[in-house]
Amino acid sequence: MTRRTPRPRERGIPEATVARLPVYLRALQALNDQGTPTISSEDLAAITGVNSAKLRKDLSHLGSYGTRGVGYDVDYLIYQVSRELGLTQDWSVAIIGIGNLGRALANYGGFGSRGFRIAALLDADSSIVGDKVAGLPVRHIEILEEVVAGESVSIGVIATPAAAAQSVCDRLVGCGVTSVLNFAPVVLNVPPSVDVRKVDLSIELQILAFHEQRKSDGYGGPEWFGIPGSLT
């Protein structure tokens, strides 16, 4: 039996692990930039703010890439994590909605180090269509399907007002986009084959407010101390 790419574990990296791999990757790249050749799970865990056992278990899902008594080779681990995350190929991204936020996203140069290419900017407002933002022309949303096909867009970033988000999403899905990053404050309805991730400023603030309230509440005075992990 021959297999060209020695696939580590046949399938199923836990979602919680996937969400942390980018954090490890960033730390590893920083270590690499400063010339560190190897790193122990203990040290990398400290840098990324996780428990070292968790880090080792996370990495073990990719395969056995560490050396006992030594640690992990930074370069090699960068390669393995990148590969697992699919960053060895380039993904074309379209940003829809070039308001304040869309502009900020377009200009956010380090859009994840490498692996992503902002391929198109789209907006419904004719008065900004044709403008250049971050070196790219804003195109009219009318030709979304055409642009998605022409640029092989595989990830759509929705930065429109809430009211427009679902219909933009439907059109993206309609022309084959199966990954969406949604900044509009609405729950998007999509078929189960489509992945949606949501970034919602006001939700984050509300979660912070909840905890902030607890801190200054009557609660927690007495039992605050001595309960390890009562905060987190």
Partner DNA sequence: AGGTGTGAAAGTGTTCACAGCC
Partner DNA sequence: GGCTGTGAACACTTTCACACCT
What are the binding residues? 97-102
d(CA 144, CA 97): 12
- Nearer Cβ to DNA (28/118): 28
74, 153, 155, 169: which one binds a second copy (CB under 8 A):
155
38, 40, 60, 178: which one binds a second copy (CB under 8 A):
178
Cβ neighbours of 52 (radius 10 Å): 14
- Nearer Cβ to a second copy (58/84): 84
CB of 181 to DNA, least distance (A): 20
Is 220 among the residues that bind DNA (CB under 7 A)?
Answer: no
d(CA 196, CA 84): 20
For residue 50, which of 13, 79, 21 has the smallest C-alpha distance?
Answer: 21
Answer yes or no: are the C-beta atoms of 37 and 74 closer than 8 Å: yes
Residue 56 interacting partner from a second copy, DNA, none (CB closer than 5 to 8 Å by kind): DNA
Q: What value, to the nearest 5°, has the Cα angle with vertex 158 and ends 152 and 161? A: 145
Cβ neighbours of 165 (radius 10 Å): 22
Residues in contact with DNA, shown as a per-residue x/- string from 34 to 73 under the rule CB under 7 A: -----xxxx-------xxxxx-xx-xx---xxxxxxxxx-
Is 87 among the residues that bind a second copy (CB under 8 A)?
Answer: yes
Q: Is 69 left (phi over 0), alpha (psi -120 to 50) or beta?
A: left
Answer yes or no: are the C-beta atoms of 91 and 101 closer than 8 Å: no
d(CA 165, CA 26): 31
Which residues partner with 54 through β-bridges? none
Residue 174 interacting partner from DNA, a second copy, none (CB closer than 5 to 8 Å by kind): none
Chain residues binding a second copy by CB under 8 A are 11, 15, 18-19, 21-23, 25-27, 47-49, 84-87, 89, 91, 93, 99-101, 103-105, 107-108, 110-113, 115-116, 154-155, 178-181, 185, 187, 189, 192-193, 195, 197, 199-215, 219, 231-232
Chain residues binding DNA by CB under 7 A are 14-17, 39-42, 50-54, 56-57, 59-60, 64-72, 229
